[in-house]
Structure 1
Amino acid sequence: MFRKSSFLLRTLFVFYFIGLISSNQVNAQSKAAQIEDLMSLYTEYGQFNGSLLVAEDGEVIYKNGFGKANMEWDIPNTPTTKHRLGSITKQFTAMLILQLVEKGNLKLDVPITTYLPNYPKATGDKITLHHLLTHSSGIPNYTSFPKFFEETSRNPYTPNDFISLFKDMELEFVPGEKFAYSNSGYFLLGVIIEKVTGKSYEENLQEKIFQPLNMKDTGFDNHDVILKNRASGYEKRGNSYSNAPYLDMSIPYAAGSLYSTVEDLYLWDRALAENKLLSKENKDLLFAPHIKSGSGTYGYGWGTNKMANGSRDSLVVIGHGGGINGFNTLINRIPANQELVVLLNNTGRTNLGEMSRNIINILNDLPYDLPQKTLANFLMDEINKNGLENGLKSFEKQKGSKEYILRENDMNALGYQFLQAGQMNEAIAVFKLNVAEFPESSNVYDSLGEAYMETGNKELAILNYKKSIEMDPNNENGKDMLKKTQEN
């Protein structure tokens, strides 16, 4: 009697377990279908062109490529396409630093002059590795320097030569006082890694992270290397695309020079979850709320935010984005559910944060929003078909429509597209619309000022540049352009 009962219970358990597996598989397939439909719509509307991977409970439930990795040859994006990561690089730099801390080669709380004795002591004695890792050093951000993208970024530098561009500058604030994103800080971390180990930043990455994790499709993106499956970078111009401006990859360095695939970044996520590269104690330092940054907190190469979901408890999302010429990237992790969303886009800026939120909502069986068409593209088509006046009227009619979304960056890009095409009236009209719709943005006034400069209207150019600088005192481009108006 006991044996029959035991056998029956075991049999029922087996069938229950099989049923549970089947139910989970169906659920995952349903979520994958929803993600497929969502991202296909983003692609149809010209808002995503890249590779995507989604994991739930630590397992991949969806991966795919959308659009073209190379538009000249019609080569599609796939999960194995290599994309430049931009600032996602910073989390790998932070990992190398903590590995060296764990081995006793570095300390987080000593001055950086301990490791860089030639760095100016007036500032270097006040800055620690912790300050560099948390963007709280006060070192000016080199990507904000005047003419950085037009001139500096196109030239090769050695790491030691490049830090001479900012090492003698005054600090913007007392180290540790506040958060201010600085690529300069992470560049310095790369130099410190090389100094302490006697090996290049690239060699350290390969030996200590990529090779142990079998991340064969990840590395430092050297421009001269023939790299199989590397995506080309493009910039979106309304409804068309152009090749992204050249950037020498010695410039982003430890702040942004890596490439990877969505599949390799999944391996990276699993290594973090399983403490493969660091002790749990030191790994947790990567994600700790060291300093407040905007609506969330910043750790070492990672930001943390809470994502409100109606009646559900807020989901803690750990992630980081990246932007580099022709590429826009995002990795978001929800450790509590072992969820992962990786989005790698190769057509410049787009709203990956919105896409990630929608995917996370799908994973958690919550309502999500379908994408909307870009109102800026609608405006461009209307102007080109029916003229400026009729285009502006159509814009006003569609502005409140649920079918379209109005974004500042989209309108700004459209204005510059008209400006570069020599359509001055159209450019000024679009920039003025952007000012009216986003009056709290410094950048919209800067762009309008540039359009007026191009048309020779110095008075209105000065007015708008002054407004832009008043709203953002760190607008170095505006200051430079204002000086030019006074010189002429």
Structure 2
Amino acid sequence: MFLKSNHALRTFFTCCILALLSNTAMNAQSKAAQIEDLMTLYSEYGQFNGSVLVAEDGEIIYKNGFGKANMEWDIPNDENTKHRLGSITKQFTSMLILLLVEEGKLKLEVPIITYLQDYPKTTGDKITLHHLLTHTSGIPNYTSFPKFFAETSRDPFTPNDFTSLFKDMELEFAPGEKYSYSNSGYFLLGVIIEKVTGKSYEENLQEKIFKPLNMKDTGFDHHDVILKNRASGYQERGNSYSNAPYLDMSIPYSAGSIYSTVEDLYLWDRGLASNKLLSEKNKELLFTPHIKSGDSFYGYGWGVDKMPDGISKDSITIVGHGGGINGFNTIINRTPSKQDLIVLLNNTGGTNLGEMSRNIYKILNGMPYDLPQKSLANFLMEEINKNGLEAGLAAFEKQKAAKEFILKEDDINALGYQFLQSGKLNEAIAVFKLNVTEFPESSNVYDSLGEAYMVAGNKELAILNYKRSVELDPKNENGKEMLKKLQGE
């Protein structure tokens, strides 16, 4: 009798466990289907072209590719496509720094001149590794230098030679005083890593992170290397694309030169979930909210925030980072307490990955999510090309308030330049004027309209718009330079 009852009890519990596993699998399948539908719509609307991976409770529930890794050859994106990561690189740099701290080769609070003896003493005595890691050093950000992308970004540099471009510059503020994002600071971290190890930044990445985590599809990107499954980078031109401008990868260096796949970034997430690379004590430093950054906080190479209201009833910490580099934009978001992961790697320049990530989090948490909207700029272009300028502008006004469309300044600006570059001056000026009407407090819209008037030979209106652009953004060096040329200074 006892044996029979025990067998029945075991059978009952087995059935319960199987039912629970079945429900969990069905739930994951349902979420995966929702994510698939969501990302398919983003892709159909031309807002996502890349690779995606989502994990829940540490397990992958969805991965896929959308659009083309190479448009010339119609090669599709998939989960094995290698994308440039941009500033997601910074979290690998911060990991290397803390690994070297753990080895006793670095200290976070000593002046950087301790490791870079040829760095100017006036600033090198004040800046620490902690300042570099948290963007609180005050070192000017080299990607914001005038004409950086036009005149500097295509040339190869050694790390030491490139450092000379900014190391003698005056600090923007006293170290530790405030947060200001600086690629220069993370570039210096790479130089320090090389100095104390006697090995290249790339060798350190491979030996200390990629090989231990079996990240075989991740590395430092070199333009000349034949790299299987590498995505090409593109940028939007209205409702079409062009190849992204060339960038020598010696320049983003330890601030942005890594490529990877969504699957390898899942391995990275799993490595961070364990103490395989770093002790728990030092790992916590990565995700500590050291300094306020806008509405959130910054750790060491990671943004730190709480789950937005309306997604979860609980106060859940999200750690993540975005990246943007010629032809690519990327995002990785993790919730360590729940072991959820979202990775989105896009190879058509800037798109709203933050919005996509939030919608995926809503799906994971069983919350209603927002469907993507069509680009009103693309609609405008189609109407102008089909029915003429006046009819296109009238159709724009009629559809502007429709919920299915979204109006973005950058999209309208790109459309204006598409007309400008194809010699359609009337259309270009009309579109740029529309952007001024819709976004009157943006410096960039006046700058673009000023350029169109300049090309059209209307010097008076070109000057008027460039002046307004500089008034709204006194740091607009392009506007200042154009004004000098137009006014004959």
Whether TM exceeds 0.5 here: the answer is: yes
Aligned residue number for residue 140 of structure 2: 140
Which sections of structure 1, spanning at least 5 residues, go unmatched?
none
**Cα distance in 1, alignment partners of residues 434 and 315 from structure 2:** 36
Distance 1:456 1:42, change over 3 A: same
Distance 1:111 1:483, change over 3 A: farther
**Residues 5-404 of structure 1 correspond to what in structure 2 (within 5 A)?**
5-310=5-310, 312-404=313-405
TM-score when normalising by structure 2: 0.97
**Cα distance in 2, alignment partners of residues 88 and 261 from structure 1:** 12
* SS state at 2:308 partner: strand
**Cα distance in 1, alignment partners of residues 54 and 131 from structure 2:** 33
Which sections of structure 2, spanning at least 5 residues, go unmatched?
none
Give 1:191's aligned amino acid: V
Question: Can you list the C-alpha shifts for 1:403-435, whole angstroms capped at 9, x where unaligned?
Answer: 111111111111111121122222222222222
**Cα distance in 2, alignment partners of residues 58 and 16 from structure 1:** 23
CA shift, 1:2, in A, is 4.1
CA shift, 1:442, in A, is 2.5
**Cα distance in 1, alignment partners of residues 275 and 429 from structure 2:** 54
Give 2:123's aligned amino acid: T
Distance 1:175 1:54, change over 3 A: same
CA shift, 1:314, in A, is 4.5
Aligned residue number for residue 466 of structure 2: 465
Distance 1:162 1:239, change over 3 A: same
Aligned residue number for residue 426 of structure 2: 425
Question: Can you list the C-alpha shifts for 1:186-210, whole angstroms capped at 9, x where unaligned?
Answer: 1111111111111000000000000
* SS state at 1:136 partner: coil
Could you tell me whether the CA contact under 8 Å between 1:146 and 1:480 is conserved in 2? no
Distance 1:11 1:221, change over 3 A: same
* SS state at 1:312 partner: coil
Could you tell me whether the CA contact under 8 Å between 1:138 and 1:172 is conserved in 2? yes
**Cα distance in 2, alignment partners of residues 5 and 73 from structure 1:** 66
CA shift, 1:264, in A, is 0.1
Could you tell me whether the CA contact under 8 Å between 1:145 and 1:476 is conserved in 2? no
Question: Can you list the C-alpha shifts for 1:210-233, whole angstroms capped at 9, x where unaligned?
Answer: 000000000000111000000111
**Cα distance in 1, alignment partners of residues 345 and 78 from structure 2:** 11
Aligned length: 488
* SS state at 2:150 partner: coil
**Cα distance in 2, alignment partners of residues 123 and 459 from structure 1:** 45
**Cα distance in 2, alignment partners of residues 233 and 479 from structure 1:** 31
**Cα distance in 2, alignment partners of residues 315 and 445 from structure 1:** 41
Does 2:458 correspond to 1:441?
Answer: no
**Cα distance in 1, alignment partners of residues 360 and 211 from structure 2:** 31
Question: Can you list the C-alpha shifts for 1:68-114, whole angstroms capped at 9, x where unaligned?
Answer: 11111111111000001111101001100111111111111111111
Give 1:308's aligned amino acid: P
Percent identity over paired residues? 80
Could you tell me whether the CA contact under 8 Å between 1:144 and 1:476 is conserved in 2? no
Give 2:327's aligned amino acid: G
Could you tell me whether the CA contact under 8 Å between 1:57 and 1:337 is conserved in 2? yes
Question: Can you list the C-alpha shifts for 1:345-381, whole angstroms capped at 9, x where unaligned?
Answer: 1111111111111111111100001111100000111
Distance 1:414 1:186, change over 3 A: same
Distance 1:457 1:171, change over 3 A: farther
Aligned residue number for residue 411 of structure 2: 410
Choose 301-310 or 353-362, whichever is displaced more.
301-310
**Cα distance in 2, alignment partners of residues 136 and 443 from structure 1:** 27
Choose 260-269 or 424-433, whichever is displaced more.
424-433
CA shift, 1:58, in A, is 0.2
Distance 1:458 1:290, change over 3 A: farther
Could you tell me whether the CA contact under 8 Å between 1:53 and 1:341 is conserved in 2? yes
Question: Can you list the C-alpha shifts for 1:138-172, whole angstroms capped at 9, x where unaligned?
Answer: 11111111111112001111111111111111111
* SS state at 2:305 partner: strand
**Cα distance in 2, alignment partners of residues 455 and 270 from structure 1:** 56
Choose 387-396 or 7-16, whichever is displaced more.
7-16
**Cα distance in 2, alignment partners of residues 487 and 206 from structure 1:** 54
**Cα distance in 1, alignment partners of residues 388 and 147 from structure 2:** 35
Query: RMSD in angstroms over aligned alpha carbons?
Result: 1.4
